[in-house]
Structure 1
Amino acid sequence: MDSLKTVFGIDVSSRKSNVCIMVNGRKVKDYAISNDMVGFNQLLDDLKQVTNPQIIFEATGVYSRRLQ
């Protein structure tokens, strides 16, 4: 059986980040999170549901450091 490839693509800006979750190349969910512990915990909840997710985001300096 082939394993599922799950990718979290995150577009980081100053106040929020847009998250897109893709499984085997198909978008299954997208949403925005605040760039604070509330938003990061929301993202973490989704990450915990997946085995070996790939996480992709642009290094945007001060904006992406907290997410990183």
Structure 2
Amino acid sequence: MHVLGIDVSRGKSSCALLHDHTVIKEFRIIHNKSGFSKLKSVITNDLPLTAVFETTGVYSRALTRFFNDEGLQYLEINPLESSIRMAGLRRQKTD
């Protein structure tokens, strides 16, 4: 299965397409018609795919709407929950 990781920011997103923990493609999109068209072309070529991104309030709403409108599978993660889960994976500095 392919996973599309999306880092959402104001008006744009950085994306990484992964398969078996290997990055296949990295790209950026702008949250407009041409950006979502580019995103759709990547998604339709590499099915089955699940997109994953953090809920970032108004910035992630455009992506949520895109995935809902297209009927595509996605997972929105609460930023606080992901921060807590990631804390256990990071090495702690000892110096």
Q: Same fold (TM over 0.5)?
A: yes
Question: What is the identity percentage for the equivalent residue pairs of Structure 1 and Structure 2?
Answer: 34
Instruction: After TM superposition, list the pairs within 5 Å mapping 1:12-51 onto structure 2.
Output: 12-51=8-47
More helix by share: 2
Instruction: State the secondary structure of the residue aligned to 2:41.
Output: helix
With the length of structure 2 as denominator, give the TM-score of the two structures: 0.64
How far apart are residue 52 of structure 1 and its match?
A: 1.9
More strand by share: 1
Larger relative contact order (Cα-Cα within 8 Å, sequence gap ≥ 6): 1
Instruction: State the secondary structure of the residue aligned to 1:51.
Output: coil
Superimposed CA distance per residue, residues 19-55 of structure 1 (whole angstroms, 9 cap, x where no aligned partner)? 0000111001101110111111100000001222011
With the length of structure 1 as denominator, give the TM-score of the two structures: 0.88
Gaps of 5+ in 2: 65-95
Q: Output the CA distance in 2 between the equivalents of 1:24 and 1:51.
A: 14
Gaps of 5+ in 1: none
Counterpart residue number, 1:56: 52
1:15 aligned partner, one-letter code:
G
Q: Who wins on radius of gyration, i.e. which is larger?
A: 2
Aligned pairs, number: 64
Counterpart residue number, 1:66: 62
- Following TM superposition, the consecutive aligned residue runs of length 4 or more in structure 1 with deviations greater than 3 angstroms are none
